[in-house]
Homo-oligomer: A and B are copies of this chain.
Amino acid sequence: MELVSSTRSFDGLQQEYRHRSAVLNCTMQFSIFLPQGTDSEEGHRYPVLYWLSGLTCTDANFSQKAGAQRMAAELGIVLVIPDTSPRGEDVADDPSYDLGQGAGFYVNATQEPWKQHYRMYDYIAAELPALIEGHFPVSKKRAISGHSMGGHGALVIGLRNPERYTSVSAFSPICNPIACPWGEKAFGAYLGADTTGWEGYDASVLVGRATTHLPILVSQGDEDQFLEQQLRPEALQMAAEACSYPLRLEHHAGYDHSYFFIASFIEEHLRFHADYLLSNDKIPA
Contacts and interface: CB of A to CB of B under 8 A. Distances in A.
Nearest to A259: B64
Contacts of A258: 7
Contacts of A7: 256, 258, 260
Interface string A226-259: 0000000000000000000000000010111011
A8 B254 contact: yes
Contacts of A9: 260-261, 263-264
A7 B11 CA distance: 30
A163 interface: no
- Give chain A's interface secondary structure class: mixed
A58 interface: no
A11 B69 contact: no
Q: Please tell me how many copies of the chain the complex holds.
A: 2
A114 interface: no
Which range holds the interface residue count of chain A?
20 to 34
Contact of A67 (B8, B70, B223): B70
Contact of A256 (B8, B65, B69, B261): B8
A221 interface: yes
A134 B255 CA distance: 27
A85 interface: no
Nearest to A63: B260
Q: Closest 9 A-B residue pairs measured CB to CB? A: A67-B67, A8-B254, A9-B260, A8-B255, A7-B260, A10-B264, A64-B65, A14-B260, A7-B258
